[in-house]
Amino acid sequence: MGGSDFITALGLARNGWVYAAGGGGANDDFTLVQYRPDGTLPPCREGCFNTWPSGKAYADCGGFETAWAIDVRADNRVVAAGCVDGQLGWAQVTTTSAANALKVTADFVGAGECAFGVQYTGTNKLVAAATQTFNGDANLAVARFETTVDPTVDVPAPDRGPVVAPAFTRFSPNPTRGAVEMEFELPHAGHVTVAVYDLQGRLVARAAEGDYAEGRHAIRWDAGETRRDLASGIYFVRIETPGWAAARRVVVMPRGR
């Protein structure tokens, strides 16, 4: 889209079209992009209109937003979920129009909610999985929502089957005043990127990037070495391989004198 826009999640429709979500824009909104099966943006004559010119759109939920997850449903609904000013938030559009987007935020007891997974379930519901902090303890937060549905389209139950994904097996100390020791396990060999982002979705550092073999690997990220003026607060460490991504929250404490 130009400028500081970025993509963090991809979804595949049954017709082969690809939908991407992320953040950016002049107001730091949810960013949505649709691509044809050949990877090109669709011209408007192929169905994009209103606020989907050239297959691109923003969804403003009223704050600073970054989408970290996306799902596509058989009735042409697309949902992007992520962070909205420290709350769990999501926006739903259709594949032919981003006008009148359905936008929702949810505030849990505590602070720093952010959704990193979302999935439609059944005919008119979706489930979002998020991270959240309460009394200094990092937690998993899950919320289910009802959403709109096109009654003329059959929406089958989820049939994706089990997913084998990379995951962090060790992540400490957290909170940290300096280095974080991380271990991750890969179900198969592939290219891996481990990057650190702030709450606005801005890249802070790359902890690792390269080709890794199947199995367990150890890496280290030192907040102090990344930038001497790195502010204390909440950051997200995202591990990404082709076809899948996962993230963990890390709290950076003020460095001791």
Q: How far apart are CA 253 and CA 180, in angstroms?
A: 12
pLDDT in tens, the chain (257 residues): 445 678 889 888 877 788 899 887 666 788 888 888 888 877 654 444 444 556 777 777 777 888 999 998 877 788 999 988 888 889 888 877 777 788 888 887 777 888 999 998 866 789 999 988 877 778 888 888 888 765 444 444 333 333 345 667 788 888 888 888 998 887 778 888 898 888 888 888 888 899 998 888 999 988 777 666 678 888 888 888 776 677 788 888 886 65
Mapped onto helix, strand or coil, the DSSP state of residue 225 is: helix
Q: How far apart are CA 59 and CA 65, in angstroms?
A: 9
pLDDT given at position 24 = 74
pLDDT given at position 54 = 63
* pLDDT one-digit tens code per residue, 54-65: 677 777 777 788
Q: How far apart are CA 78 and CA 18, in angstroms?
A: 11
Q: Which CATH architecture has domain 167-252?
A: Sandwich (2.60)
Q: How far apart are CA 210 and CA 193, in angstroms?
A: 7
pLDDT given at position 162 = 35
Nearest alpha-carbon partner for 38 in 15, 57, 58, 22: 15
Q: How far apart are CA 102 and CA 147, in angstroms?
A: 8
Please list, in sequence order, all residues whose beta carbon lies within 8 angstroms of the beta carbon of residue 229, skipping any fewer than 6 positions away: none
- The answer to whether 74 and 66 have CB atoms below 8 angstroms apart is no
- Domain locations in the chain? 6-146, 167-252
For the chain, the residue count is 257
| 6-146 and 167-252: identical CATH topology | no
Q: Which CATH architecture has domain 6-146?
A: 7 Propeller (2.130)
pLDDT given at position 210 = 92
Nearest alpha-carbon partner for 22 in 63, 72, 74, 57: 57
Please state, in angstroms and as integers, the Cα–Cα distance from residue 81 to each residue in 9, 119, 209, following that order. 10, 10, 26
